[in-house]
Structure 1
Amino acid sequence: MTSAAGPDTVHLVPLDPSGRRRAMLREPAGADEQSVGGTTTADAVRLLDRLLTDDPASAVRPGDAATLTVVERDLLLAAAYRLGWGPRISGVVTCAACAAPFDLDFRLADLADRVRAEAPAGVVTLDDGVTFRLPTAQDEAAVLGLPPDEAERALLARCLISGAPETHGPRVEQAMAGAGIDLDLAATCPECGHGADIRFQIQDYLLATIRCDWATLIHDVHRIAVAYGWSLTEILSLPRGSRRAFVALLDGEPIPRTAERS
């Protein structure tokens, strides 16, 4: 079987507002979905190392995902979601005031653009001269297993470049808070007008989506194998958009336009 991957299955993802630091990411395939075992940072790093491509235009290559800042990692996870599952995040939220369900729907690209524009790049200097950098997965792995308070202090010590953790720690932690696509989204219930903040974390959302889609992946593999006689390896190597398009065609349904990723 020849590959069904088209030229648009690899995308350039800007990692900073200038666009000078960037990564090349390919669309997730079934084998990538099958490799996801949980929703931890380690799971996210392993997935990104599979999806990053060794391209001269990329500032990060396969094996570099653990060195990315939390913002850069989340931007790539958002891009992976858009490549494989489309441009919008949709869900149903239950109002805490009146218990009525209402829809939550937004363009992931808009959220990623906002986070990218607001994210500190490189070394951050506060107005009192204290400097720090954002944590990476390597930093998080180094404090894994420590009691929460001790882990927090150890992570701060790793990221603080100048200044004293005891004196300047709270300000640095406040400056770090909300970095990445891990934030509260404002939502209003259309029934009663009650406002609420809905927590959205791209890492949890993407990895949980992949794990919840396991039955869909198995269905797709079976459908394509029966229809075309392709091997498991061949089917799992298909970009997700191509695989879903083949299944839609076999079922007489409109082909999903996952190429509309922006």
Structure 2
Amino acid sequence: MALLRLRRDLFGDHVQAIGSCPACGAELDIVFGVSGLLRSLPETQGGPGPAEVVVDGYAVLVRPPTSADVLAVLEEEPVREAGARLFDRCVVRVTGPSVVPSAGRVPAAVAEEISKRDPGASIELVLDCAECGHRWAEVLDVVGFVWAEVNAWARRTLRQVHTLARAYGWRERDILAMTPRRRAAYLGLVAG
């Protein structure tokens, strides 16, 4: 949820994206407000620290996964086993009859507990296709979405600096010190 708040603070509340219908392939506009999305999420239960989950005779102390954990498991092969590797990375301590299974009820209970502690970790948007009427839920990849916006902003800013430095001979730090509105005005003069 903190990443969504950061996104709102950087780029505003209004989000516009493009998706495609899995049934008919039609392109659709996805529009929502970050504030409304944040209000719709359930309250966090238990806080961000480690949690103990007891199921099937096991007591599993697990910490929430970090973005570094997710990146690490996605870089390893095979990707289809990423969930089990993520589970293994986040287990702090296990007590129970034997080695904790990485599939079945134990990991499912752990995942449910982590979801309660961070309901913003997995956000689903319910979408409707205007073309065929198909309705489905799409997981919002908050990290990927925010990263794409930051990356686009950085590239756009770099192009602006390049254009103004080339046109006027100004230094990068002087261009970046300008307000976005003033920078846009000079870009308009260069283009015009």
* Matched residue, 2:106: 168
Alpha-carbon spacing, 1:237–1:201, altered in 2? closer, same or farther (3 Å)? farther
Q: Which of 216, 238, 246 is the equivalent residue of 2:182? A: 246
Note the residue ranges of structure 1 that are not aligned, 5 or more in a row: 1-73, 253-262
1:233 and 2:173 correspond: yes
Question: Aligned partners of 1:155 and 1:90: how far apart in 2?
Answer: 35
Structure holding more helix per residue = 2
TM-score normalised over the length of structure 1: 0.51
* Matched residue, 1:209: 149
Alpha-carbon spacing, 1:188–1:138, altered in 2? closer, same or farther (3 Å)? closer
For the 8 Å contact 1:88–1:106, the answer to whether it is kept is: yes
Alpha-carbon spacing, 1:157–1:82, altered in 2? closer, same or farther (3 Å)? same
- Between the two proteins, the alignment pairs up a number of residues equal to 173
* Residue 232 of structure 1, CA deviation: 0.8
| Greater C-alpha Rg | 2
Question: Aligned partners of 1:227 and 1:197: how far apart in 2?
Answer: 48
Note the residue ranges of structure 2 that are not aligned, 5 or more in a row: none
* AA partner of residue 10 (structure 2): G
Question: Aligned partners of 1:92 and 1:191: how far apart in 2?
Answer: 15
For the 8 Å contact 1:119–1:180, the answer to whether it is kept is: no
How big is the alpha-carbon RMSD for the aligned residues of Structure 1 and Structure 2?
Answer: 3.7
* Residue 172 of structure 1, CA deviation: 0.5
* Matched residue, 1:99: 25
Structure scoring higher RCO (CA < 8 A, sep ≥ 6) equals 1
For the 8 Å contact 2:17–2:31, the answer to whether it is kept is: yes
1:184 and 2:124 correspond: yes
Structure holding more strand per residue = 2
Question: Aligned partners of 2:108 and 2:155: how far apart in 1?
Answer: 45
* Residue 103 of structure 1, CA deviation: 1.4
1:219 and 2:149 correspond: no
Alpha-carbon spacing, 1:212–1:137, altered in 2? closer, same or farther (3 Å)? closer
